[in-house]
Chains A and B, each alone.
Chain A
């Protein structure tokens, strides 16, 4: 056990830290920093990375400072948080359900949020396609839709506790149901509205301000820390129900907590970034291929990878076809999939 370190915090939590995975996670975090700085510098007005660094250290000139702090940084923070949220939710769901296809998109949470947003656009648009209420209500609507859908999925899967597989199936069903509802609303409404809804469904990070960033930051940080603190529970849960029970774990209780964490993380992410897909599915898989499948060693890395994917996707979305913005949700798969396929072929750490 030379390459492992045990950390204990009183009786509250204890982890076994794998040195290798810790090292890789740190490198990935550095990479995230580099990507974020590059992204902060690019846009209509180019700022060189050195100037960006100066601004972050508080010694840059005031013009750069305004651009970065007012416009670019909140958006990048949002991208990082959304990436962390989705990737962690995906890692949780894949481990709880022991199914490689588990991802927050599949169990209907995203579909529920999309339905709520399309409903919002349909209810509060007037003839000239302008919103009759403030757009600030949209994240709330999306979050509500996500939570209500998750509640429906949990309620329908409940039968002396929640069996993960039953929940996935029912989630897929509810997801299809919500998609159907979304399609009907989009077809009935005018095409402009459908187009607007389509952008939301694809997922895009824009118009984020510091208030929103602060809200989501608190929420995601708390849930992420709880997830880390419960790593031990997950490692036991992954052994299978019977072994976990005989190891003294309260299987149902910890499973429900994990599913709630997953719901909270996904709900917050989709509320502010729309239905950005693929991150929740792919980030955990990439992490697993690099550091192995143990939840404890891969959850941190998968969060960082998720953040990298979303930051890069958002960067491309802003810059590539400026002034048209191609939603970030388009790019997550375009960057994530090739790398993932490369890992799949290379077959390391299988």
Chain B
């Protein structure tokens, strides 16, 4: 673990470099092999050749989407774990993924929705609706929003949505065929328009999270301590929950439900920068992006020329590392 803040700054700089390196690698490597110089010239002076077109229209959106979605999922996972005070929490626990998936499946079954653009709209509505239900359910009652109620209401609502999804998919094989790939999560062949629409909100969400990180440190000491020190606990929880919806909701709407990043990256990050959120959040964003970029690159090579869904690769790459961290960090 890195203890000094000088050390953390250095780590942050190196991690950012690694992030940028992965971003460019994602543009360069794949089925159509290009070189680094071609990639650079595609941006400097685009001559309309196939390689340049591939880079601009296929690779670049894909790399940017992977980087942004990864960053958002990991950060929202860290927020969730802190709000619920449960290390097993992740955005999917709030019902965001299940809600998004359910609405997309409804769209496919009842409204013959086909374009990714409309998947995104349905997904976003689903994420927001399901989060709204969870938030209202866990806020009613005498003692307001407690972590326990949030987790339980989230688990119940997401189970409800995912079982209804399963129901529709088992009686409708065509719909299953159509959404199976989307269900596994992928960042490939998403139009850049999707990202452009969501990008500003995601960046604002991330920035607010970074700025409010110290409030989260207070909250982590417990509700009583935090409110004793003058914090409006309810408001802070609400803002952070809203950030989670924006970050995770837009991510799932763009890329489908990519699980697991939100749960493992925060653990991995905390194992080397500690528990202070002003460090945890930025590192989460960087490493979430890196994991998704690397997984996406790997997904192109495993069964070339076909592709493995990136949600599968995040698990295959992330799990061994995660188990190593879990064993080391929570040693006897």
- Report yes or no: B319 in contact with A176, Cβ–Cβ below 8 A: yes
- Per the bound structure, the CA–CA distance linking A318 and B322 in Å amounts to 42
Q: Which of B126-155 contact A (CB under 8 A)?
A: 137-138, 140-142, 148-149, 151-153, 155
Chain A positions within 8 Å of B211 at CB level: none
Closest B residue by C-beta to A176: B315
CB-contact partner of A344 in B153, B162, B176, under 8 A: B153
Q: Total A-B pairs in contact (CB under 8 Å)?
A: 159
Chain B positions within 8 Å of A324 at CB level: 171
B157 at the interface (CB under 8 A from A): yes
Q: Which of B145-186 contact A (CB under 8 A)?
A: 148-149, 151-153, 155-157, 159-160, 162-164, 166-167, 169-171, 173, 176-177, 180-181, 184
- Report yes or no: A166 in contact with B160, Cβ–Cβ below 8 A: no
A77 at the interface (CB under 8 A from B): no
CB-contact partner of A337 in B148, B151, B160, B184, under 8 A: B160
- Report yes or no: A161 in contact with B332, Cβ–Cβ below 8 A: yes
- Report yes or no: B162 in contact with A333, Cβ–Cβ below 8 A: yes
* Chain B residue total in the interface (Cβ 8 A): 56
Task: Tell me the minimal C-beta distance from A310 to chain B in angstroms.
Answer: 13
A147-158 vs B, CB cutoff 8 Å, 1 = contact: the mask equals: 000000000110
Chain B positions within 8 Å of A168 at CB level: 88
A115 at the interface (CB under 8 A from B): no
Task: Tell me the minimal C-beta distance from B8 to chain A in angstroms.
Answer: 24
- Report yes or no: A184 in contact with B180, Cβ–Cβ below 8 A: no
Task: Tell me the minimal C-beta distance from A195 to chain B in angstroms.
Answer: 5
- Report yes or no: B180 in contact with A187, Cβ–Cβ below 8 A: yes
A173-185 vs B, CB cutoff 8 Å, 1 = contact: the mask equals: 1101101100110
Chain A positions within 8 Å of B259 at CB level: 176, 179
- Report yes or no: A202 in contact with B170, Cβ–Cβ below 8 A: yes
A278 at the interface (CB under 8 A from B): yes
B263 at the interface (CB under 8 A from A): yes
- Per the bound structure, the CA–CA distance linking A16 and B160 in Å amounts to 36
Chain A positions within 8 Å of B312 at CB level: 180, 183-184
Chain B positions within 8 Å of A194 at CB level: 176-177, 180
- Report yes or no: B166 in contact with A330, Cβ–Cβ below 8 A: yes
- Per the bound structure, the CA–CA distance linking A151 and B311 in Å amounts to 25
- Report yes or no: B156 in contact with A344, Cβ–Cβ below 8 A: yes
Chain A positions within 8 Å of B152 at CB level: 100, 285, 340, 344
- Report yes or no: A184 in contact with B163, Cβ–Cβ below 8 A: no
CB-contact partner of A198 in B170, B181, B308, B330, under 8 A: B170
Chain A positions within 8 Å of B176 at CB level: 191, 194-195, 198
- Per the bound structure, the CA–CA distance linking A99 and B148 in Å amounts to 10
B263-296 vs A, CB cutoff 8 Å, 1 = contact: the mask equals: 1100100000000000000000000000000000
- Report yes or no: B326 in contact with A166, Cβ–Cβ below 8 A: yes
Chain A positions within 8 Å of B332 at CB level: 159-161, 163
A321 at the interface (CB under 8 A from B): yes
Instruction: Knowing A172-B263, A194-B176, A285-B152 are in contact, say whether A344-B137 is a contact too (CB < 8 A).
Output: yes
A290 at the interface (CB under 8 A from B): no
A106 at the interface (CB under 8 A from B): yes
- Report yes or no: A333 in contact with B159, Cβ–Cβ below 8 A: yes
- Report yes or no: B263 in contact with A282, Cβ–Cβ below 8 A: no
- Report yes or no: B142 in contact with A347, Cβ–Cβ below 8 A: yes
A331 at the interface (CB under 8 A from B): yes
- Report yes or no: A180 in contact with B160, Cβ–Cβ below 8 A: no
Task: Tell me the minimal C-beta distance from B268 to chain A in angstroms.
Answer: 11
The 3 closest A-B pairs by CB, nearest first: A330-B167, A333-B163, A180-B315
Residues on A facing B (Cβ under 8 Å):
99-101, 106, 156-157, 159-161, 163, 165-166, 168-170, 172-174, 176-177, 179-180, 183-184, 186-188, 191-192, 194-195, 198-199, 201-202, 277-278, 281-282, 285, 321, 324, 326-327, 329-334, 336-338, 340-341, 344-345, 347
Residues on B facing A (Cβ under 8 Å):
86-89, 93, 137-138, 140-142, 148-149, 151-153, 155-157, 159-160, 162-164, 166-167, 169-171, 173, 176-177, 180-181, 184, 259-260, 263-264, 267, 303, 308-309, 311-313, 315-316, 318-319, 322-323, 326-327, 330-332
Sample (21) of A-B pairs whose CB atoms are under 8 Å apart: A100-B152, A101-B88, A163-B330, A163-B332, A169-B87, A170-B323, A173-B264, A173-B319, A173-B326, A191-B177, A191-B180, A195-B176, A281-B159, A327-B170, A329-B166, A336-B159, A337-B159, A338-B160, A341-B137, A344-B141, A344-B156
